Amino acid sequence: MADTKTLTGLNYSPAMDEKTHEQTYRGFVRFVEIGTVTVLCWVVALAIGGLREAWITAIVGVLVSWAAAAVGAFVPAIGWKAQAFVFAALLLILAFG
């Protein structure tokens, strides 16, 4: 069982590699952020296709969100912000397209 009496990051056991543990956690959080915004892009793209009957625009939106996800995954400084731009653009297309 996990020891809940110690503060996170202060008392790692000798068997645990603190630096690797923290890097893995940061990577997981970045992956979840990027994945969440990408799925939101897909939902809006499906709404564009279904409500506006603009399926080509929806497909392009999905492909661009994939590209933005790849950029965000390989450039940690960008992260989920690339998909957020695509998400905002898709929302504008849905609202005014």
Length of the chain: 97
Please check whether residue 82 is in contact with residue 66, taking contact to mean a CB–CB distance below 8 angstroms: no
Residues contacting residue 40 through CB under 8 Å, at least 6 positions apart: 83, 87
Cα–Cα separations (whole angstroms), residue 70 to 8, 24, 35, 94: 31, 18, 10, 24
pLDDT (0 to 100) of residue 63 = 98
Q: What is the pLDDT along the chain (97 residues), one digit of tens a residue?
A: 455 555 555 666 667 788 888 999 999 999 999 999 999 999 999 999 999 999 999 999 999 999 999 999 999 999 999 999 999 999 999 999 8
pTM of the model: 0.81
Amino acid at 6: T
